[in-house]
Structure 1
């Protein structure tokens, strides 16, 4: 589980990336944790899943030792959509290990996500 300050804010952000809330606790009131999945994945049960839980202490984005990689079918479109929604998305770069490109973005708690272009051989 990823510890976050506000589960609902995190769910809103991750919806921009194609995730939906599959389950959450408690059933009413502010969410304490949520299971997020990608309903459009070829096999949503084995596709991208993420669980977020409300942290009991402040999140310090300067000491997070986690990096998420997400792959997109159309990197430029995803970046444009995020910018349209007010998300600060870095420039697309083309490192040797990802010649089709990647860019950096942070979620509401400062977790770094690298969004990369899918290639024909991406699993």
Structure 2
């Protein structure tokens, strides 16, 4: 019988684009995130990393809402005109309380504003 949770599957995952060329102007990364995990900054961590540096770790933040789709935006001005490694990273850190859907990222877009 199939389950709709991450208790019986992988406890960690990473989505990587290691050849993302950013425009010379200030760009933004935008994506929708749905996370149905433990609301903790110790377990079930989701991070967005650029060149290995954590640029977003919403767990435990005031803006983070559990089991709700949220639009997140990250300024990429510091990386303008460069090729970057972009990672969407998740690790449960344990095999406890993994009965939620886990992490779902959707509509990942890198773009610039039109003036």
Q: What TM-score do the two structures reach when normalised by structure 1? A: 0.28
Question: Where is the strand percentage greater, Structure 1 or Structure 2?
Answer: 2
| Higher RCO (Cα < 8 Å, 6 or more apart) | 2
